[in-house]
Amino acid sequence: MNCRSEVLEVSVEGRQVEEAMLAVLHTVLLHRSTGKFHYKKEGTYSIGTVGTQDVDCDFIDFTYVRVSSEELDRALRKVVGEFRDALRNSGGDGLGQMSLEFYQKKKSRWPFSDECIPWEVWTVKVHVVALATEQERQICREKVGEKLCEKITNIVEVMNRHEYLPKMPTQSEVDNVFDTGLRDVQPYLYKISFQITDALGSSVTTTMRRLIKDTLAL
Amino acid sequence: METDLNSQDRKDLDKFIKFFALKTVQVIVQARLGEKICTRSSSSPTGSDWFNLAIKDIPEVTHEAKKALAGQLPAVGRSMCVEISLKTSEGDSMELEIWCLEMNEKCDKEIKVSYAVYNRLSLLLKSLLAITRVTPAYRLSRKQGHEYVILYRIYFGEVQLNGLGEGFQTVRVGTVGTPVGTITLSCAYRINLAFMSTRHFERTPPIMGIIIDHFVDRPYPSSSPMHPCNYRTAGEDTGVTYPSVEDSQEVCTTSFSTSPPSQLSSSRLSCQPAALGVGSADLGCPAVFAAGLNTTHPYQLMVPGKEGGVPLAPNQPAHGAQAGDQERLTTYTPSDGAHCAATPSSSEDTETVSNSSEGRASPHDVLETIFVRKVGAFVNKPINQVTLTSLDIPFAMFAAKNLELEDVDPMVNPPDSPETTSPLQGSLHSDGSSGGSSGNTQDDFVMIDFKPAFSKDDILPMDLGTFYREFQNPPQLSSLSIDIGAQSMAEDLLSTLFYILEICDTLQMNTMAFHRAQERPDPKHTAGKRQS
């Protein structure tokens, strides 16, 4: 199975990094989340309801829609915050990227760990720019807002191609396809990682999230 | 082109398309109300959340959408369109967007109606939620208030894009293939925000939609007490009542199966037949979303029809298991990629509604749906004034200038308690018969600049910080300062002058000495020399 890969690029001011990343990640996850599955007898299941809410950005003239799930929002804010801090502390040219990967688990026999097979990867490349005057910042607010509008349109275009999606699983296999750990919504299994690019352009991995998860995954 | 779709699949597909159209209108209109929308997720399935999405149903909007559809469905050549326009307090209006739900002839015969089509329609609605926030009209709608309001109009038939001005852009939200055609949802939006001449508006039909009286509370009886409706005649009863969801909205209780193929049987969605009773048949009134920046009153969606009125019936979900058609159950395996709905076995499914129950008497609804009190620009006016201001003919206000517009201009005198007459009856006939155009209507108008001071100034490109810095340390007056270069030059000239003066003194002294020497007579030579 080929993994679908989409790349987005944004140039933002330092304080806009968090909101820009959240806007993109939440928009993707809005399309890749369903209601909670409730399996019943006779092999039937029902699906819960996904609520949505608008989020106004403070540093960008932009509003995005996210799934009404505080758990999901907290999880995204945590990793985006780590990315923002890593960017700030890197001391490089302010280049970095985050990857949102949707995957399926394939059970393996002991002692081998389950295999994670990605089926869609969204990569958001960020370039942080420094601005000197308030006028430049005001212009940047509007420009980044317009750019994010384009990115959302791009995301929607990809989503509506109706390309590969994992098949609906049985109750025993639902955890191989969906993240059932949230109380109110059920996104496809996903993992988020980020990288900071140093001044030389070589990739310096600053997060161990993927390695830790893969190593400790059982 | 239709395929050999069995009748049950066809029924389900028609139902999906119908409710998809209704939900599409709700999403678009709610995105232009001017405030943030928030609905809650529910882990338990509810009976009335079509497409597994919590999208509130504003009764008036549903009513208008159903009226526009008139029992039809989007088909080839018959599109459902939602027109979003802007109307200023002076009466100028401008189309901003046209959202189109179309169907073309390209069929997907292999797709499973009750699973793939349903889920893809759900995905398309999510995309619509996202896209409605990124078109330019969204930011305009969030700032609507005293200067302008956002209107909507629903029509069915041919798409009319003439009012969007030149160079309008389109964005495709998405497509869903079905066995009877491909559903396409797109938006054409204006990019030129300069107002056009009135001649353009005279050719367009009047806007038929819903007026929102922002001085009236929400239609939910559980919320704050109702204020008098200024569109309702005194002493009348409610007048128009909108059918509640349990009467008019079919319930979709979806349940999917993961059974193996050996347990195949027939299954369908269990839905309530629509009992679409409309209180007032003729409610074609212009629609205004009057939302001001100063939120003081909850605003309410209402249709000021002939009797005027406020929808009182709560938007209750139907009890799916207890009324309407109970249909057969079919299960499919997930490996087939087909999932079907199971008939709800009890009424519990539909009674667990929390998100979509808009008539419940609880603050739950208040939290779920944000309808902010706002003060609008032109409501609460007597019929004659509102007739003029609400007419879809631009510059109607100019035509009736002799009226006490200044006295009732909300920008001059904030309106008091709302009146009781229906202000919009005249607007039904707003086809250019009144208002006309004044001399200055031929001029183009430019959108009001909403930029705060120092944020952006084309005349004097200066931000607040620069302004402060410059005026904190003003430059020294040139008359009080001596140019260093000029000063040194002056000094040089002065020193040169002094030198010249010294030379002159020296010369003078020498000259005087010479003259004195000349005047002293020489005893030997002076006589001879003088005589010669």
Taking the alpha carbons of B385, B391, B396, B397 in that order, is the dihedral positive or negative? positive
CB-CB contact of B408 with B382 (8 Å): yes
What ipTM was reported for this prediction?
A: 0.90
Average pLDDT, chain B: 62
Spatial neighbors of B200 by CB under 8 A, at least 6 apart, are B163
Which of A53, A135, A183 lies closest to B463 in CB terms?
Answer: A135
Contacts of A169 in chain B (CB under 8 A): 258, 334
Structure tokens at A61: 């003239």
Question: Taking the CB of residue B415, how many other CB atoms lie within 10 A of it?
Answer: 18
Taking the alpha carbons of A97, A98, A103, A105 in that order, is the dihedral positive or negative? positive
Average confidence (pLDDT) over B422-440: 38
Average confidence (pLDDT) over B87-110: 90
Q: Are strands A115-129 and A4-13 parallel, antiparallel or unpaired?
A: parallel
Give the pLDDT confidence score for residue B79 in this predicted structure. Answer: 93
Condensed to tens digits (0 to 9), the pLDDT of residues B277-286 reads 333 333 333 3
Integer Cα distance of B223 and B97 in angstroms: 33
Give the pLDDT confidence score for residue B286 in this predicted structure. Answer: 34
Which of B126, B129, B455 lies closest to A138 in CB terms?
Answer: B455
Assess A158–B contact: CB distance below 8 Å, yes or no.
no
Contacts 24+ apart (CB under 8 A), B448-457: B448/B147, B448/B148, B450/B143, B454/A134, B455/A138, B456/A135, B456/A138, B456/A139
Q: What is the pTM of this model?
A: 0.60
Condensed to tens digits (0 to 9), the pLDDT of residues A80-108 reads 999 999 998 887 678 899 999 999 998 77
From the number of C-beta atoms within 10 Å of its C-beta (0-12, 13-18, 19+), residue B321 rates as buried
B174 phi-psi bin (left φ>0, alpha ψ -120 to 50, beta other): left
Q: Helices A17-31 and B118-131: crossing angle, nearest 10°?
A: 160
Are the beta carbons of A167 and B331 separated by less than 8 Å? no
Domains recognised in chain A with CATH numbers: 2-207 (3.30.900)
CB-CB contact of B370 with B298 (8 Å): no
Asked if residue A119 has pLDDT above 90, the reply is yes
In a mutational test of the A interface, the residue from B134, B135, B463 whose CB has the highest number of chain A CBs within 10 Å is B134
Strand partners of residue A125: A9, A97
Name the helix (H) or strand (E) containing B154. Answer: strand B148-157
Assess A39–B contact: CB distance below 8 Å, yes or no.
yes
Cis peptide bond upstream of A111, omega within 30: yes
From the number of C-beta atoms within 10 Å of its C-beta (0-12, 13-18, 19+), residue B278 rates as middle
